[in-house]
Structure 1
Amino acid sequence: MREQARADRPAATRASARERLSSRPAAARASAHERLASHERPGTMLKGPPITVRCPCGERRELGYGEVWRCACGRRWDTAQVDAAQYARLRRVQLRFRILPVCLGLATSLAGLFFLLTHNTFSLFVLLPAVLVLWGMVLRPIHRRRYAAALGELPRWELRSG
């Protein structure tokens, strides 16, 4: 029955649906294969956070430090205009605030492994929910507020198109 209905539809309708799917942004199409840190580009830890460039024509692009981008309107943007010392300070702030979640995860994993190897599984089932509640309800909101405050103290850059 479905095949009959599909055959009865005009080919233009099928093509337009295909065009609609292909015109969606890649991030929307790849939502099934989303990374855990989907808000970050790969290599952010090693290369540093991306610099968001907004052109007056409305185009927006995230570039790495030192990258050059030519907008569709013809303007050329160079992120090397950003002071290297200021960008290094941003990277230090970013790395400093990643330490707490990583250390908490490692400590929890080591404690869980210890409980598992000592056959103390009851403590394992108490440890994991307790750490998740502690992180989610107490530590994470405080950590996010401090991170936002630290980022707020950093300068904003105004790039000039060339």
Structure 2
Amino acid sequence: MQAHEIMNTHVYKVKETDTVRLVIEKFIEHRISGLPIVNERNEIVAYISDGDIMRYIGKHKDIILDTVYFVNVVKGDDEEFEERAKKILDLNVLSIAKKKVIKARWDEEIEYVAAILGEKQIKKLPVERNGVLVGIISRGDVIRHSFNAIL
């Protein structure tokens, strides 16, 4: 089975000229957590996820976690959370997105797609054909298509 056989062809995406505000609006409206970023030729140039946004708005310095992962001490960044959250809205998406995008070719075998999603610990994988975004595959897509006939 190949990627194009299970990929979702209705892909939510943003353009490289868009702001983080539009990304967050799409996250909320469509209940998603990541988007490919494309240029005017629909080529994938970056990927932005909820994790990229969390890294920007969270405090970064001297976070100490105890053995059960509760935050004990946070010091350093004095900018208020609300200020960081407001400041991110008007940033260009490329200023916080990942430029090295992990993606699959449309004819990639599903075993490879599953391995990448698992090993890289990512939720979705953009699919391209001839350098152009044509679909997206989620972990759920792989599970459904891999086990639906068996169960």
Query: TM-score when scaled to structure 2?
Result: 0.25
Q: Larger strand proportion, structure 1 or 2?
A: 2
Q: Determine which structure has more spread, i.e. the larger CA radius of gyration.
A: 1
Query: TM-score when scaled to structure 1?
Result: 0.24
Q: Larger helix proportion, structure 1 or 2?
A: 1
